[in-house]
A and B are shown apart, each in its own frame.
Chain A
Amino acid sequence: MKLNRRRFLGTATLATAALSAPAVLGQTRPRVVVIGGGSGGGTVARYIAKDSNGAVDVTLIEPTRRYYTCYFSNLYLGGFWDYDALGHGYGTIARTGVNVIHDWAVGVDRDVKTVALASGDSVSYDRLVVAPGIDFVEGSVPGWNVSQQSLMPHAYKSGTQVQLLKHQIETMREGGLFVMVAPPNPYRCPPGPGERVSMVAHMLTQSNPTAKILIVDPKENYSKQALFEEGWERHYPGMVTRIGPDMGGDDFEVRPESMEVVIDGEVEQADVCNVIPAQKAGRIAELAGLTNDSGWAPVMPADMRSRVDENVFVLGDASAQGDMPKSGFSANSQAKVVANVIRGELTGSRIFPARYSNTCWSLIATDDGVKVGANYEPTDEKIASVSSFISQTGEDADLRRQTYEESIGWYNGIVADIFG
Chain B
Amino acid sequence: MKPRLVLTFCLGLALIPMEALSQASPIGDATTGAEVYRRECASCHQIGEGAVHRIGPHLNRIFDRGAGSHSDFRYSDALLRQGRDGLKWDLRRLDAYIENPRALVSGTRMSYRGLKDAQRRADLIAYLRVYSDQPQNIPEASPTAVIREVDLPESVLAIEGDVEYGEFLSSECTTCHQRTGSDAGIPGIVGWPEEDFVVAMHAYKQKLRPHAVMQSVAARLDDEEIAALAAYFHALARE
Contact surface of A with B, Cβ cutoff 8 Å: 47, 51, 329, 332-333, 336, 339-340, 350, 352, 355, 357, 359, 371, 373-375, 386-389, 391, 398, 402, 405-410, 412-414, 416-417, 420
Contact = CB atoms under 8 A, between A and B. Distances in A.
Nearest to A358: B175
A403 B176 CA distance: 13
A51 B220 CA distance: 25
A409 B219 CA distance: 22
Contact of B217 (A357, A407, A409): A357
Contacts of B136: none
A410 B175 contact: yes
Contacts of A389: 212-213, 215-216
B164 A350 contact: yes
Given A402-B113, A410-B176, A417-B174, A387 B216 contact: yes
B186 A413 contact: yes
Contacts of B116: 398
A391 B210 CA distance: 13
Chain B, interface size category, equals 20 to 34
A392 to B, nearest CB: 10
A355 B169 contact: yes
Given A47-B171, A410-B186, A413-B176, 13 more contacts: A333-B172, A336-B168, A371-B212, A389-B212, A389-B215, A398-B116, A406-B186, A406-B213, A407-B185, A409-B186, A410-B175, A413-B175, A417-B175
Nearest to B169: A355
Interface string B138-173: 000000000000000000000000001101110110
A51 B177 CA distance: 19
B178 interface: yes
B82 interface: no
Of B164, B165, B167, B174, most buried by chain A (CB within 10 Å of CB) is B174
A413 B113 contact: no
Contacts of B171: 47, 336, 339-340
B176 A373 contact: no
Contacts of A332: 175
16 contacts: A333-B172, A350-B165, A352-B168, A375-B216, A389-B215, A391-B212, A398-B116, A406-B186, A409-B186, A410-B186, A412-B178, A412-B185, A413-B174, A414-B176, A416-B178, A417-B178
Nearest to A350: B164
A332 B175 CA distance: 7
B182 interface: yes
B184 interface: yes
B113 A412 contact: no
Given A410-B185, A416-B180, A375 B220 contact: yes
A332 B171 CA distance: 9
Interface of B: 113, 116, 164-165, 167-169, 171-172, 174-180, 182-186, 212-213, 215-217, 219-220
A251 B33 CA distance: 63
B97 to A, nearest CB: 18
A417 B212 CA distance: 22
A357 B172 contact: yes
A49 B71 CA distance: 38
A225 B186 CA distance: 26
B216 A336 contact: no
B175 A386 contact: no
A409 B220 CA distance: 23
A413 B177 contact: yes
A373 B217 CA distance: 10
B184 A409 contact: yes
A373 to B, nearest CB: 6
Contacts of B175: 329, 332-333, 410, 413-414, 417
Contacts of A51: 167
Nearest to B171: A336
B113 to A, nearest CB: 6
Contacts of A359: 213
Contacts of A352: 165, 168-169
A19 B179 CA distance: 27
A289 B219 CA distance: 39
Of A371, A374, A389, most buried by chain B (CB within 10 Å of CB) is A389
B219 A412 contact: no
The 5 tightest CB contacts between A and B, nearest first, are A409-B185, A409-B186, A336-B171, A389-B212, A413-B176
A340 B178 contact: no
Contacts of B219: 375, 387
B235 to A, nearest CB: 15
Of B113, B167, B216, B217, most buried by chain A (CB within 10 Å of CB) is B216
B28 to A, nearest CB: 22
